[in-house]
Amino acid sequence: MTGHGTKFGRKKEEAIAALLSERTIEEAARAIGMSAKTLLRWMKLPEFRSAYLEARGQALGQSNARLQQATGAAVTTLLKLMVSPDAPAATRVRAAQCVVELAQKGFELDNLELRLARLEEAAAEDAHQSHGRR
Protein backbone atom coordinates (compact mmCIF):
# COMPACT_ATOMS: atom_id res chain seq x y z
CA MET A 1 0.00 0.00 0.00
CA THR A 2 2.84 2.36 -0.68
CA GLY A 3 1.74 5.70 -1.98
CA HIS A 4 -1.22 5.96 0.37
CA GLY A 5 0.91 7.74 2.95
CA THR A 6 -0.38 9.03 6.24
CA LYS A 7 -4.03 8.96 5.13
CA PHE A 8 -3.87 5.17 4.87
CA GLY A 9 -1.93 4.94 8.13
CA ARG A 10 -4.50 7.00 10.02
CA LYS A 11 -7.45 5.19 8.45
CA LYS A 12 -5.76 1.84 9.11
CA GLU A 13 -5.48 2.70 12.81
CA GLU A 14 -9.15 3.70 12.90
CA ALA A 15 -10.11 0.47 11.16
CA ILE A 16 -8.11 -1.64 13.60
CA ALA A 17 -9.63 0.17 16.58
CA ALA A 18 -13.10 -0.37 15.12
CA LEU A 19 -12.42 -4.06 14.49
CA LEU A 20 -11.37 -4.44 18.11
CA SER A 21 -14.40 -2.63 19.53
CA GLU A 22 -17.28 -3.55 17.22
CA ARG A 23 -19.02 -6.91 17.09
CA THR A 24 -18.80 -7.50 13.34
CA ILE A 25 -16.76 -6.39 10.35
CA GLU A 26 -19.85 -4.66 8.98
CA GLU A 27 -20.30 -2.68 12.19
CA ALA A 28 -16.61 -1.80 12.28
CA ALA A 29 -16.73 -0.56 8.68
CA ARG A 30 -19.86 1.47 9.34
CA ALA A 31 -18.30 3.03 12.46
CA ILE A 32 -15.42 4.47 10.44
CA GLY A 33 -17.39 5.36 7.31
CA MET A 34 -15.98 2.61 5.12
CA SER A 35 -17.60 -0.18 3.16
CA ALA A 36 -17.35 -3.68 4.58
CA LYS A 37 -16.00 -4.81 1.21
CA THR A 38 -13.06 -2.40 1.50
CA LEU A 39 -12.37 -3.45 5.07
CA LEU A 40 -12.44 -7.11 4.07
CA ARG A 41 -9.99 -6.33 1.26
CA TRP A 42 -7.72 -4.49 3.71
CA MET A 43 -7.78 -7.49 6.03
CA LYS A 44 -6.11 -9.52 3.28
CA LEU A 45 -3.18 -7.07 3.04
CA PRO A 46 -0.13 -8.41 4.93
CA GLU A 47 0.70 -4.96 6.39
CA PHE A 48 -2.84 -4.45 7.70
CA ARG A 49 -3.27 -8.05 8.85
CA SER A 50 -0.01 -7.92 10.78
CA ALA A 51 -0.92 -4.65 12.52
CA TYR A 52 -4.41 -5.97 13.33
CA LEU A 53 -3.08 -9.23 14.79
CA GLU A 54 -0.54 -7.33 16.87
CA ALA A 55 -3.25 -5.05 18.23
CA ARG A 56 -5.48 -8.05 19.00
CA GLY A 57 -2.60 -9.71 20.81
CA GLN A 58 -2.01 -6.62 22.92
CA ALA A 59 -5.70 -6.37 23.79
CA LEU A 60 -5.79 -10.05 24.73
CA GLY A 61 -2.65 -9.65 26.83
CA GLN A 62 -4.28 -6.82 28.78
CA SER A 63 -7.39 -8.92 29.32
CA ASN A 64 -5.31 -11.86 30.52
CA ALA A 65 -3.45 -9.62 32.95
CA ARG A 66 -6.76 -8.40 34.39
CA LEU A 67 -7.96 -11.99 34.77
CA GLN A 68 -4.75 -12.96 36.53
CA GLN A 69 -5.13 -10.04 38.92
CA ALA A 70 -8.58 -11.35 39.84
CA THR A 71 -7.41 -14.86 40.71
CA GLY A 72 -6.92 -14.00 44.37
CA ALA A 73 -10.57 -13.01 44.71
CA ALA A 74 -11.63 -16.09 42.75
CA VAL A 75 -9.70 -18.40 45.04
CA THR A 76 -11.14 -16.67 48.11
CA THR A 77 -14.65 -17.15 46.72
CA LEU A 78 -14.03 -20.84 45.99
CA LEU A 79 -12.62 -21.47 49.45
CA LYS A 80 -15.48 -19.63 51.18
CA LEU A 81 -18.07 -21.59 49.22
CA MET A 82 -16.25 -24.85 49.89
CA VAL A 83 -16.43 -24.44 53.67
CA SER A 84 -19.68 -22.51 54.00
CA PRO A 85 -22.32 -24.45 55.93
CA ASP A 86 -24.94 -22.21 54.30
CA ALA A 87 -23.98 -23.19 50.75
CA PRO A 88 -25.84 -26.12 49.19
CA ALA A 89 -23.94 -29.40 49.31
CA ALA A 90 -23.65 -29.51 45.52
CA THR A 91 -22.03 -26.06 45.53
CA ARG A 92 -19.55 -27.06 48.24
CA VAL A 93 -18.65 -30.25 46.36
CA ARG A 94 -18.18 -28.38 43.09
CA ALA A 95 -16.00 -25.73 44.79
CA ALA A 96 -13.90 -28.48 46.40
CA GLN A 97 -13.57 -30.23 43.06
CA CYS A 98 -12.39 -26.99 41.44
CA VAL A 99 -9.82 -26.43 44.19
CA VAL A 100 -8.42 -29.95 43.83
CA GLU A 101 -8.37 -29.86 40.01
CA LEU A 102 -6.75 -26.42 39.86
CA ALA A 103 -4.16 -27.39 42.47
CA GLN A 104 -3.33 -30.50 40.42
CA LYS A 105 -2.98 -28.46 37.22
CA GLY A 106 -0.74 -26.00 39.03
CA PHE A 107 1.45 -28.83 40.29
CA GLU A 108 1.66 -30.35 36.81
CA LEU A 109 2.64 -27.01 35.28
CA ASP A 110 5.27 -26.39 37.94
CA ASN A 111 6.65 -29.90 37.36
CA LEU A 112 6.73 -29.42 33.58
CA GLU A 113 8.48 -26.08 33.99
CA LEU A 114 11.14 -27.67 36.19
CA ARG A 115 11.65 -30.56 33.76
CA LEU A 116 11.87 -28.17 30.81
CA ALA A 117 14.42 -26.01 32.60
CA ARG A 118 16.54 -29.10 33.32
CA LEU A 119 16.33 -30.22 29.67
CA GLU A 120 17.30 -26.75 28.46
CA GLU A 121 20.27 -26.68 30.85
CA ALA A 122 21.39 -30.12 29.65
CA ALA A 123 21.01 -29.11 26.00
CA ALA A 124 22.98 -25.92 26.58
CA GLU A 125 25.71 -27.88 28.37
CA ASP A 126 25.85 -30.44 25.53
CA ALA A 127 26.03 -27.66 22.95
CA HIS A 128 28.80 -25.95 24.92
CA GLN A 129 30.78 -29.21 25.21
CA SER A 130 30.26 -30.03 21.52
CA HIS A 131 31.36 -26.55 20.53
CA GLY A 132 34.50 -26.89 22.65
CA ARG A 133 35.50 -30.15 20.91
CA ARG A 134 35.68 -28.61 17.43
Residue 15 burial (CB < 10 Å; 0-12/13-18/19+)? buried
DSSP label of 102: H
What CA–CA distance (Å, rounded) separates 4 from 88?
63
What CA–CA distance (Å, rounded) separates 120 from 18?
42
Mean pLDDT, rounded, for 98-121: 96
Mean pLDDT, rounded, for 104-132: 93
Mean pLDDT (the chain, rounded): 92
Q: Are 31 and 67 contacting, i.e. CB atoms less than 8 angstroms apart?
A: no
DSSP label of 22: S
Domain range annotation of the chain? 1-69, 72-134
Q: Note the pLDDT of residue 47.
A: 93
Reported as a single tens digit per residue, the pLDDT across 33-83 is 999 999 999 999 999 999 999 999 999 999 999 999 999 999 999 999 999
- Closest among 21, 65, 66, 19 to 43, alpha carbons compared: 19
Q: Note the pLDDT of residue 1.
A: 45
CB atoms within 10 A of CB 42: 21
Model pTM? 0.56
What CA–CA distance (Å, rounded) separates 96 from 88?
12
Q: Note the pLDDT of residue 130.
A: 84
